[in-house]
Amino acid sequence: MHLLKKVRLFLLLAAIASLLLAAGTLLAPDRPAPSFAETKSDYRPSESWLLDRNGEVVAVKRVDDKTRRLDWVGLDEVSPAMQEWLLLSEDKRFYRHGGTDWLALASGGVSYLRHFIDGSRPRGASTLTMQLAGFLDPSLAPANSKRTLAQKWRQIVAARAIEKRWSKQQILETYLNLASFRGELNGIHAASFALFGVHPSALNRPQALLLAALLKGPTATPERAANRACALIRAAQQPGDTTCDELHALARLTLETGNRHIVQESIAPHLAQKLLLQPGVRLASTLDANLQRHAMRALHEHLMTLDERHVKDGSIVVIDNRSGDVLAYVGSSGELSDAPNVDGAAALRQAGSTLKPFLYGMALQGRQLTAASVLDDSPIQLNTPMGLYIPQNYDRDFKGAVSVRTALASSLNVPAVRALGLVGVDNFVRTLRTYGLDSLTGDGEHYGFSLALGGVDVRLVELTNAYRALANRGVWRPLRFTAAERGAKPRQLISPQAAFIVASILSDKTARAMTFGLENPLATRVWTAVKTGTSKDMRDNWCIGFSIHYTVGVWVGNFNGEPMHDVSGVSGAAPVWREMMDYLHAHDGSAPPTKPDGVTALQTRFTPAIESPRTEWFLAGTETAEIRLVAANDAGRLPQARILYPTGGTVIGMDPDIPSGHQRVQLSAKDAEQVKWLMDGNGIGEGADIGWTPTGGRHRLVLTDAEGKELDAVSFEVRGALP
């Protein structure tokens, strides 16, 4: 009798189903079922990929934070075990129905009625195709995990429509790519990699079993998921080598640790962060993967040698001079850094002496200076809105009269300040902006004379491209990060003639020897032009330069702003720059640039002989065969001795907690032999350096030779001391 009731109930449900099927058009889905091709075309992974210029993946970035999807995989890329357990778990008669399993539906209907009668848990009856219809049409998805009868019927109608347009293989493939397995893991590709660290084609039977069990309960505990997998083994009624103990161990190992296996190696993560904005994109960049790896390795190895000098971070940019393609973009030192996600190539850092080539280029262009012009490298004190500005050289020494060539190549500071006085601070600010240094938002008064020494924040990538303009004879063009970018209209910033002379100076090993010596990392085996820079307090160290083919920029320092310890331009960034130039020119050379029209060479000498005679480059019309220094005395020579400290206008503040008689000020002179010091007309000592007990008020300090002839004099003030 009990069996007869079941048969009658089944026939009743079948009759109802037939009636509903006949009225299916009244309950049709909101939109027609898409084709398989449309569905696959609309699929978007949560990741995007950055490719190098040869198609190699150099970075992977997750763009969609709501779900985790990897690339679409074909059915032939999914292990047979996964397909087998999926069908056993979700749709045993998949290949025998047309979208609706009426037997399962009838059984599910009975289960549904029993749920209302005795509260037992109902069994689902959705086929894979019906579930797929819900994936494709959100209106068929249940609300609060409950689906209405109308939704269920519309799902049935949609499933039958899919079966008419799609093959069984296409349905199974799409289901595997769209199904949610656990948490954010969507699709078999992401699930197999995240949980087991393998491609779907490599899933074994226990792994496939656990994934199939998760489809019924993606949020299940490891124990419950393993129990469901064990139930599938029993339902299969076939002997196997997988035990429930193994499934429980596998569930605990994988489901409690999260997505630990989706580790995507990226050798250009910072550029990917900049360029990859939409999910599912494969973007072809201008990077060279091999060069990128070498740059990362060179930076890492050199920073390891600087570990005791408190240097943790660095960045590298390599540009092709002709095309503007960014061939390497290393944003940080990776594991050595305390902040590896910071993009040092795009971060604002103090420029140091790296702006001097553009300053002297302006002065050459304006014919205010030539490469042979002489500038005075002696103490200077400038009044600014922020107070007195007293520039010093890196080695705390002054060289006296020097040529522009020596001043720029040896990176002397005081001559650069004097050159800035010639071209004007406002003009220099405007010029730097034309080179793409958009971070300079203030006016000349805001920056003052410290601009000559790089007292502003710039970005490595922009500064490197500015040097590329010098390499390209004064022509600036924007960078290219992707193959699809088109170059904007070029801008001629300085004349080819001025750019040529600046490049000549920056390539002159002899001219830079005064500061750097002849043997240093700046001396490459091929022709290169290069400039270093170090910011105040040793927080930033730069080396930027170019060959005939490439421009390379390197920055080292600390992202947290902490100073480095005893790191100079040639010990910090320069060795990495040299390594990159050697690598770039391992198989080709870099000949010096050809002289443009409008530049002439002339043998030049200095009187007195502050530098050796040489053949110098001049803009046509500015040639000078002899540079004669006008002397301040009858002998035709400049005074050799000069006061280094205090400089004119200095205000010395005494410590009020220390008795004045116990405080001393050190007076220093340069090139001083057999000299005497006079303070307010009274002799106070002899020699290059003497101590003086200060007294309050204004004072005039005079330096004389042994015969009493005045050599130099300054006025200064002492405050906080007894008169």
| Between 674 and 482, the higher pLDDT residue | 482
- At 342 the pLDDT is 95
- Please tell me the distance from the alpha carbon of residue 507 to that of residue 504, in angstroms, as a whole number: 5
Question: Both tokens of residue 322?
Answer: 């002709």
Asked if pLDDT for residue 419 goes beyond 90, the answer is yes
Burial of 659 (0-12, 13-18, 19+ CB in 10 A): exposed
Total length of the chain = 723
Q: What value does the mean pLDDT take over residues 14-39?
A: 62
List pLDDT tens digits, range 315-344.
999 999 999 999 999 999 988 998 999 999
> In what order do the strands lie in the sheet containing 529-534?
326-330, 313-320, 550-557, 540-546, 529-534
Band (pLDDT 50/70/90 cuts) for residue 381 is: low
Determine if the pTM surpasses 0.75.
Answer: yes
Q: Judge whether 606 and 629 are in contact, CB under 8 Å.
A: yes
Q: Judge whether 270 and 345 are in contact, CB under 8 Å.
A: yes
Check: CATH 2.60.40.10 for 642-719?
yes
Task: Tell which CATH architecture fits domain 2-30+76-255.
Answer: Orthogonal Bundle (1.10)
Secondary structure in 3-state letters for 215-231? HHCCCCCHHHHHHHHHH
Secondary structure in 3-state letters for 341-355? CCCCCCCEEECHHHH
List Cβ neighbours of 381 (8 Å cut-off, separation of 6 or more): 388, 389, 390, 647, 648, 649, 650
Full DSSP string of 490-557: -EE-S-HHHHHHHHHHHT-TTTTHHHH-SSSTT--SS--EEEEEE-GGG-EEEEEEE-SSEEEEEEEE
Q: How many CB atoms lie within 10 A of CB 159?
A: 27
- At 115 the pLDDT is 43
Q: What value does the mean pLDDT take over residues 695-702?
A: 90
Locus of tokens 């080396």: 543
Q: What value does the mean pLDDT take over residues 147-163?
A: 81
Asked if pLDDT for residue 632 goes beyond 50, the answer is no
- At 630 the pLDDT is 64
- Please tell me the distance from the alpha carbon of residue 444 to that of residue 429, in angstroms, as a whole number: 6
| Between 371 and 197, the higher pLDDT residue | 371
Sign (positive/negative) of CA torsion 173, 179, 182, 184?
Answer: positive
Asked if pLDDT for residue 124 goes beyond 70, the answer is no
- At 143 the pLDDT is 57
* 642-719 matches 301-582+593-618 in CATH topology: no
Q: Judge whether 626 and 645 are in contact, CB under 8 Å.
A: no
- At 155 the pLDDT is 84
Cis peptide before 269 (omega within 30 of 0): no
Q: Judge whether 152 and 133 are in contact, CB under 8 Å.
A: no
List pLDDT tens digits, range 353-365.
999 999 999 999 9
Question: Both tokens of residue 250?
Answer: 């596998």
Band (pLDDT 50/70/90 cuts) for residue 390 is: low
What is the residue extent of each domain of the chain?
A: 2-30+76-255, 42-68+263-285, 301-582+593-618, 642-719
List pLDDT tens digits, range 575-607.
999 999 999 999 888 899 999 999 999 999 999
Asked if pLDDT for residue 720 goes beyond 60, the answer is yes
Identify residue 399 by its one-letter amino acid code.
Answer: K
- At 140 the pLDDT is 76
HSE-up of residue 575 (Cα within 13 Å, Cβ side): 16
| Of 53, 51, 50, 483, nearest in space to 278 by CA | 50
| Between 566 and 439, the higher pLDDT residue | 439
If DSSP codes are grouped into helix, strand and coil, which group holds residue 452? Answer: helix
List Cβ neighbours of 137 (8 Å cut-off, separation of 6 or more): 29, 30, 31, 33, 158
Band (pLDDT 50/70/90 cuts) for residue 371 is: very high
Band (pLDDT 50/70/90 cuts) for residue 466 is: very high
If DSSP codes are grouped into helix, strand and coil, which group holds residue 471? Answer: helix
Task: Tell which CATH architecture fits domain 301-582+593-618.
Answer: 3-Layer(aba) Sandwich (3.40)
Q: Judge whether 647 and 379 are in contact, CB under 8 Å.
A: yes
| Between 674 and 420, the higher pLDDT residue | 420
Sign (positive/negative) of CA torsion 654, 657, 658, 660?
Answer: positive
Asked if pLDDT for residue 548 goes beyond 50, the answer is yes
To the nearest whole number, what is the mean pLDDT of the chain?
85
Q: What backbone phi and psi angles, to 5 degrees, belong to 703?
A: -110, 125
| Between 242 and 413, the higher pLDDT residue | 413
| Between 120 and 474, the higher pLDDT residue | 474
List pLDDT tens digits, range 650-695.
778 776 666 666 678 888 887 677 889 999 999 999 988 888 888 8
Band (pLDDT 50/70/90 cuts) for residue 512 is: very high
- At 521 the pLDDT is 87
List pLDDT tens digits, range 54-106.
999 999 999 998 899 999 999 999 999 999 999 998 888 899 888 787 665 65
- At 297 the pLDDT is 97
% of the chain surpassing 70 pLDDT: 84
Band (pLDDT 50/70/90 cuts) for residue 640 is: low
Name 343's bridge partners.
none
Which secondary-structure segment (H or E) carries 719?
Answer: strand 710-719
Asked if pLDDT for residue 312 goes beyond 60, the answer is yes
Q: Judge whether 417 and 449 are in contact, CB under 8 Å.
A: yes
List Cβ neighbours of 637 (8 Å cut-off, separation of 6 or more): 608, 631
Least confident of 107-111, 427-431, 463-467, 688-692: 107-111
